[in-house]
Amino acid sequence: MSAFGQGLAGFLRMLATGRRFQLMIGLVLAMGWVGVSVYGDLVIRDVPVAVLDLDNSRISRTIRTYLAATRELDVLPDAPSSVDEARRWMLDGKAAAIVLLPSTLSSDIKRGRKAEVLIAVDAGNILTGRNAFKAIAKAIGTVAAGVQLTYVTKLGERKDRAMASVVPIVLDENPTFNPATNYAVYLVPGLVFFLLHVFVLLLALSVDLPACNAPTPCHRLGALAAVLGVGWATGLLFLHAYLPADRVLSASGPVLASAWVGALVLGDVLMARAIRAVLPSLLATVEVTIVLGMLSLMLSGITWPMDMFPAPLRWVAMAIPFTPFAQGFQLLLHHPVTLGDLAPHLGLLAWQAVGFSTLIALGSAVRALAAHRRPAPGGVA
C-alpha cells in the first residue's frame, strides 16, 4: 500500500479504535442533536402571563380572551389579587409578564378618554420578554381596533369605509431569510455547523499525533484526505438528517448545499494546517485553534452584525472559513440561488485558501531549512 493509502487507513483506524476519538465523535453528534431538539418547537410559546383585571367589563373580558387564544402566551388560570401579589409572581418566576387592566378601562373608552393598559415584562431573557410583549401588544391592539370600529360605525360611518378609518395604514411584512419567523431556522443551522467547524479543526490537527502514524508528508496527506472525508460525511449527516428534523431544508437543492458544506470542511483543514505551520508546537497550535474555533460563531455575523465589531475583530472574522460559509449558507437555505449569487462568499473562501496555502508552504520551507541546518547527532555545528 502506498504511503498515502497507509496514512488514510491509519487515520480512519485511529478514529474507529481510539476511545478518545470515539468519545469526540459521539459528543459532536449528540450535541448537534441536542441543538436540533432544543429548538424543535420552532417558536417561543406558552409564556406564563398573569392578568390582573380590575375592570371586569365586556372589553376587559374580550382582552383576556384574545390573550388566552395567542399561541405565544399561557394566561394563568389564577389571577393575582393585587399589584403587589402580581409583582411577587414575577419575582418568583411564576409569571413572565403581567397585564394590568385598570378599573377605569371601559369608562375611559365610553367617555372618549385615552384608556391605558399596563404591561410589565420580565426581560431577563430578552427572547422571552420581546416575544411576550409583542404578543400581548398585538392582542390588545386587535381589541382596541375592534372597539374603535364599533364606535365609528355607531357614529354613522359606512361599514365599507369604517375599517379604513380605524386602521388607515396596514403593514405588509416580508420576513426575508426566515418566512416562518421561527428560531430553528435562525439558530439551528449556525449552531450545528459551528460544531462541525470545531470538529474538523481538531481532526485536522490530530494527524500530528503519534497514534496517527503519519511520519512522512505523503502519510499526512492521506490522513488529511481521511479528515476531509469524515468531516464532509458528518456535515452531510447534519444537512440531510439533522436539519430536516426541524423542517429546515435547502431551497437551493441538495447538491449546492452539500458542495457548500464541503467547502467549509476544506477551508477548515487548510486553516488548521496553516496555524500548525506557523506555530512552534502542537500544543500551542491546539490552543490557538480552539480559541479561534470557539469564537467563530460569535464572529461570523449571523448572531450579531459584523458592522458592530471593532475593526480588529472584523479582520479576524474575515480570516475564519466559518464566516463566509455561515453567511452564504443563510442564502442557499432560504432562497434558490446559484454559485453566482454566492460569489462574494465563495471569493472570500478562495482568498482564505490561498492565504492558508501560502502559510503552509512558507512554514514547511522554514522547517525544512531549520532541519537542514540542524547538526546531525554526534556531529559538529
* Residues in the chain, pLDDT under 70: 1, 149-152, 154-181, 372, 374-381
Listed in sequence order, the residues at least 6 apart from 185 whose beta carbon sits closer than 8 Å to its beta carbon are: 42, 177, 178, 246, 248, 333, 334
| pLDDT of the residue at 378 | 54
Cα atoms in the Cβ-side hemisphere of radius 13 Å centred on 313: 14
CA-nearest of 129, 294, 261, 314 to 195 is 294
CA distances from 268 to 168, 201, 259 (A): 53, 6, 14
Each residue of 230-243: b (16+ CB within 10 Å) or e? Answer: bbbebbbebbeebb
Q: How confident is the model at residue 210, as a pLDDT?
A: 85
User: Which residues have CB under 8 Å from 114's CB, separation 6+?
Assistant: 108
Position 304 scores a pLDDT of 84
Distance CA 226, CA 228 (A): 5
Helix (H, G, I), strand (E, B) or coil at 15: helix
Q: What's residue 113's pLDDT?
A: 77
Instruction: Check residue 198 and give its pLDDT.
Output: 96
CA–CA gap between residue 347 and residue 368 (Å, rounded): 32
Contact, 220 vs 333, CB < 8 A? no
Residue 117: all three cell numbers together: 393598559
CB–CB of 63/143 below 8 Å? yes
**How far is residue 258 CA from its own chain's centroid?**
19
3-state helix, strand, coil in the chain (%, to 5): 65, 5, 30
pLDDT single digits (tens) 205-248: 999 888 888 888 898 999 999 999 999 999 999 999 999 998 88
Cα separation, 301 vs 307, whole angstroms:
8
Q: Which residues contact 3 (CB under 8 A, 6 or more apart)?
A: 216, 218, 219, 222
The answer to whether the predicted template modeling score (pTM) of the entire model surpasses 0.75 is yes
- What's the angle, vertex CA 52, arms to CA 48 and CA 58, rounded to 5? 110
